[in-house]
Structure 1
Amino acid sequence: MRFSERVLDLFGEDAVWSDDHEGMSGHLLRVSSASGVFYVKHGSVAEAEYERLRWLKHWMAVPDIVAFDQDALVLADVGWPSLERRAPADIGAIMGRVLRELHAVPIEECPFDEGLTVRLARAEQRLEAGLVDADDFDDDHADLSPRQVYDRLLADRPAHEDLVVAHGDYTPSNVLVSRDGRPVLIDVGGLGVADRYLDLAIALRDLGEDFGESAVDDFLTAYGLEEVDRRRLDYYRLLDEMF
């Protein structure tokens, strides 16, 4: 990929570029230079994240935007490890508290729609473009093809959505926390108004698989959810396979 001179001038000629780091994706690069450490996102994901970061900073802590030029977004390194990397004993409680705060943001204030109609349309586009990786499906979906997953999503679509401002990819790797407990949300390109189970399904799956049932219990207590809707939980886990 090529970046504008404005972006390249931020780092200098001796900058070291790498995609070998936590949170690595095809759209994210880490840059180390004399002026500091930065993360550069590019393409459509950069534009989506830029718009959401500008809005979300009024409600939650997020990385500082250093520059946005053409299709490149430059973010300052927060300097804190993710919860996935730190793995504190109270990880479930931290995840629950942070998500409760995000879900308390008034949906009337949020300009981004990530409801089922939007997400299913995006899933269909990814399916038709051959972008859904069946090899990455969870074990209980491993016998399904991308087309079967999509068809099941249409057939089992919930009649009701409990709308909140959702993160869209709420995992321990996307929550950074300082030593004194201050959280920062990253990778918010999928943030928008959606069913709260869009976040709950992913958070509970990752906490249960990586940190055990005690972390799940701590999460639910901190979030304030006494009873889990297993059908919606399963549905939104299935939806995540398309992305």
Structure 2
Amino acid sequence: MHLPGGILDLFGDDAVWSDDHEGRSGVTLRVTNPDGRFFVKQGPAAVAEHARLRWLKRWLPVPDVVAFEGDALVTGDVGWASLERAKAPVRAARMGEVLRRLHLIPVEECPFDERLDVKLARVTARVAAGLVDTGDFDPDHAGMTAEQVLDRLQAERPAAEDLVVTHGDFTPGNVLAPPAGEPVLIDLGALGVADRHVDLAIALRELTGPGEREEFLAAYGLQPLDEGRLSYYRLLDELQ
């Protein structure tokens, strides 16, 4: 990172910088100084996340924005572990509850477009630029090329979208949960209006413990699911 001077001055010479943290995607550093702990992110994802943090704060708990300069974002450390560390039935239910609240936000209030046209244009550019790591594909997509995945996505595109305000990367690691009180959402750079199955597909991919799928869906309150859309959006996630 080559941070703006104002961001560096914020922490002082005695700050301790570390990349040892959980639940944060992209290039994110944790900074500790006498005033507390903070997270610093830089680049296009930081710019996107800044706008989304400011907007979502009206609706749900998110980290405080401490500073924003150029393309560098500083947020406060909430101080809670993510749901990756929670017991399976608890994390599944809490994820279902917070996702239900997010998806109930009126779509017309959200200024961020993450519909399928936007997502497909983005991943098409990533494939063309050779930015997709095929070695990181899920086991059932292993051996496919990025171009083959993109061809399938274009051929199997759903005819319609069930639009809600989505997180975009709804994993247990991106939900910070206090012992009591409301969870806090992080890594919001892909938040926007999209099909609800964007979030459901990623959550259910992660929640594989005994009874977790049932606990999650009971808390979320949606039955039945569209299994075809779940498979489609999980495939889409391979290119993001």
* Cα deviations by residue, 1:37-70 (Å, 9 ceiling, x for unpaired): 0000100001000000000000000000000001
Does the CA contact (< 8 Å) of 2:89 and 2:211 recur in 1?
no
Structure 2 CA distance, aligned partners of 1:190 and 1:26?
12
Once the two structures are overlaid, the 10-residue window that deviates more, 29-38 or 68-77, is 29-38
User: Which residue of structure 1 aligns with residue 218 of structure 2?
Assistant: 221
User: Which residue of structure 1 aligns with residue 238 of structure 2?
Assistant: 241
1:231 is paired with a residue of what secondary structure? helix
Alignment of 1:84-233 (within 5 A): 84-87=84-87, 89-208=89-208, 212-233=209-230
- How big is the alpha-carbon RMSD for the aligned residues of Structure 1 and Structure 2? 1.1
- 1:150 deviates by 0.6
1:30 is paired with a residue of what secondary structure? strand
Structure 2 CA distance, aligned partners of 1:101 and 1:199?
13
- 1:17 deviates by 1.0
Aligned residues: 240
Structure 1 segments (4+ residues) deviating >6 Å: none
- 1:16 deviates by 1.2
2:67 is paired with a residue of what secondary structure? strand
**Equivalent position amino acid for 1:162 in 2:** D
Stretches of structure 1 that go unaligned for 5 or more consecutive residues are none
**Equivalent position amino acid for 2:139 in 1:** D
Does the CA contact (< 8 Å) of 1:19 and 1:25 recur in 2?
no
User: Which residue of structure 2 aligns with residue 64 of structure 1?
Assistant: 64
- 1:89 deviates by 3.6
2:232 is paired with a residue of what secondary structure? helix
* Cα deviations by residue, 1:99-154 (Å, 9 ceiling, x for unpaired): 00000000000000001000000001111111111000000000211110011000
Does the CA contact (< 8 Å) of 2:59 and 2:105 recur in 1?
yes
What is the TM-score with the length of structure 2 in the denominator? 0.97
Structure 1 CA distance, aligned partners of 2:190 and 2:148?
24
User: Which residue of structure 2 aligns with residue 46 of structure 1?
Assistant: 46
- 1:23 deviates by 2.8
Q: 1:26 to 1:112 in 2, by over 3 A?
A: closer
Structure 2 CA distance, aligned partners of 1:88 and 1:132?
31
Structure 1 CA distance, aligned partners of 2:24 and 2:219?
29
Structure 1 CA distance, aligned partners of 2:129 and 2:148?
16
Stretches of structure 2 that go unaligned for 5 or more consecutive residues are none
1:90 is paired with a residue of what secondary structure? helix
1:74 is paired with a residue of what secondary structure? strand
Does the CA contact (< 8 Å) of 2:38 and 2:76 recur in 1?
yes
- 1:85 deviates by 2.2
- 1:213 deviates by 4.0
Does the CA contact (< 8 Å) of 2:24 and 2:186 recur in 1?
no
